[in-house]
């Protein structure tokens, strides 16, 4: 799949933002006044910034409001609704903390639930696609949720939780890679099934339909940088989890926490790039690309 920067930024930052909101909703850290204001600003910058980034890859962003209508069938629509509800509820909850010094626990809990639902619905947009066997597995929501929780714990300064959840995210990510590498072969989609010609012998793509490229090849047959896949996986997981855990274990200061956050985000962007770049769409079979 073509790794569009807008979608990579969107999933990483909205995941971290809603992860932080989930912790804030439960009262971790238990802050009020200006400190609470600072935490909520960071959370909203990540979550809303990510959502705005996601509209950059739309052909007609001016019609984005229509995307709230099809929640009965569409995970993308459900995601939009969950995000708006989470942001509105958490804004009210945050206003209580910042301006009144009051913590409305039930409202926070509702906000936490919708924040986590937003991350879950985001992951289901990818998980539902049978056409991309690497994503079509329960491991995909597990990966998105573990990233959001680890990032949320890290940004909310819950050191012990952050170290544990970063380790969980790393383990889930490794499982996702190990499982994903055999997913296409295990899906049963082959050129023989795609053409129905397998009964007569070995099928080979002989000529593509056009001499030039097209939307399908650009969007679904992305292979650039795949040869560096293993190196990028190692870089990604070291930056995303290993280095932040080591930094947090060493000692705690605001500078070290900042370094841990920067490292985590850089790692998450790397692994998310791989999430898209390594995903193989079955339509590539017709073009002899699988």
Partner 1 sequence: MTTLPQSTTRKLGLVIDLDTCVGCHACVISCKGWNTENYGAPLSDTDAYGADPSGTFLNRVHSFEVKPPILKDQPAPEAQLIHFPKSCLHCEDAPCVTVCPTGASYKRVEDGIVLVNESDCIGCGLCAWACPYGAREMDAVEKVMKKCTLCVDRIYNENLPEEDREPACVRTCPAGARHFGDFADPDSNVSKLSAERGGMDLMPEQGTKPVNKYLPPRPKDTLSEGAGDIDILAPYLEPVAQEAKGFLGWLDKTLEKL
> What's the closest the beta carbon of residue 287 comes to partner 1, in angstroms?
8
Among the listed residues 96, 90, 94, 290, the one whose alpha carbon sits nearest the alpha carbon of residue 204: 290
Contact between 186 and partner 1 by CB under 8 A: the answer reads no
Of the candidates 48, 194, 242, 266, which one interacts with partner 1 according to CB under 8 A? 194
Of the candidates 34, 160, 186, 188, which one interacts with partner 1 according to CB under 8 A? 188
- CA–CA separation, 287 and 290 (whole Å): 8
- CA–CA separation, 241 and 243 (whole Å): 6
Contact between 206 and partner 1 by CB under 8 A: the answer reads yes
Contact between 128 and partner 1 by CB under 8 A: the answer reads yes
Between 24 and 132, whose beta carbon lies closer to partner 1? Answer: 132
Which one of 76-84, 85-93, 241-249, 267-275 is the stretch in contact with partner 1 (CB under 8 A)? Answer: 76-84
Token match 């190196």: residue? 231
Contact between 168 and partner 1 by CB under 8 A: the answer reads no
For 133, residues 6+ apart whose C-beta sits below 8 A from its C-beta are 183, 184, 186, 187, 189, 280, 282
For 290, residues 6+ apart whose C-beta sits below 8 A from its C-beta are 184, 191, 280, 282, 284
Contact between 219 and partner 1 by CB under 8 A: the answer reads yes
DSSP H or E stretch at residue 212: none
Q: Residue 288 burial (CB < 10 Å; 0-12/13-18/19+)? A: middle
Contact between 184 and partner 1 by CB under 8 A: the answer reads no
Contact between 215 and partner 1 by CB under 8 A: the answer reads yes
Tokens (6 digits) for 149:
């929780």
Between 162 and 279, whose beta carbon lies closer to partner 1? Answer: 279
Of the candidates 34, 204, 254, 255, which one interacts with partner 1 according to CB under 8 A? 204
Q: Residue 1 burial (CB < 10 Å; 0-12/13-18/19+)? A: buried
Of the candidates 34, 106, 210, 255, which one interacts with partner 1 according to CB under 8 A? 210
Between 164 and 194, whose beta carbon lies closer to partner 1? Answer: 194
Number of residues that bind partner 1 (CB under 8 A): 59
Between 61 and 105, whose beta carbon lies closer to partner 1? Answer: 61
Of the candidates 146, 156, 189, 270, which one interacts with partner 1 according to CB under 8 A? 189
Among the listed residues 50, 32, 264, the one whose alpha carbon sits nearest the alpha carbon of residue 153: 264
Q: Which residues bind partner 1 (CB under 8 A)?
A: 1, 57-61, 63-64, 66-70, 72-77, 80, 125, 128-132, 187-189, 191, 193-197, 199-210, 212-216, 219-220, 281-283, 286-287
């Amino acid at each position: 799949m073509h790794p569009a920067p807008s979608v990579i930024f969107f999933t990483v930052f909205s995941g971290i933002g809603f992860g932080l909101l989930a912790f804030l909703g439960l009262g971790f850290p238990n802050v009020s006044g200006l400190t609470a204001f600072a935490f909520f600003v960071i959370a909203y910058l990540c979550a809303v910034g990510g959502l705005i980034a996601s509209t950059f890859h739309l052909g007609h962003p001016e019609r984005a409001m229509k995307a709230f209508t099809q929640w009965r069938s569409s995970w993308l629509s459900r995601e939009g609704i969950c995000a708006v509800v989470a942001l509105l509820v958490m804004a009210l909850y945050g206003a209580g903390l910042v301006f009144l010094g009051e913590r409305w626990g039930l409202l926070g809990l509702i906000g936490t639930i919708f924040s986590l639902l937003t991350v879950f619905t985001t992951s289901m947009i990818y998980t539902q696609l049978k056409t991309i066997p690497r994503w079509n597995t329960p491991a995909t929501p597990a990966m998105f949720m573990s990233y959001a929780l680890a990032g949320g714990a890290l940004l909310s300064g819950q050191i012990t939780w952050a170290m544990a959840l970063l380790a969980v995210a790393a383990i889930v990510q490794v499982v996702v890679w190990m499982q994903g590498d055999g997913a296409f072969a295990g899906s049963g989609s082959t050129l023989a099934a795609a053409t129905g010609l397998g009964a007569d012998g070995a099928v080979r793509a002989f000529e593509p339909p056009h001499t030039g490229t097209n939307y399908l090849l650009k969007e679904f047959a992305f292979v650039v940088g795949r040869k560096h896949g293993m190196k990028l996986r190692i870089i990604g997981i070291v930056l995303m989890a290993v280095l932040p855990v080591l930094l947090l274990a060493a000692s705690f200061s605001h500078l070290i926490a900042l370094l841990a956050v920067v490292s985590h985000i850089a790692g998450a962007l790397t692994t998310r790039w791989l999430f898209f770049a390594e995903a193989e769409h079955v339509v590539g079979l017709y073009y002899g690309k699988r």
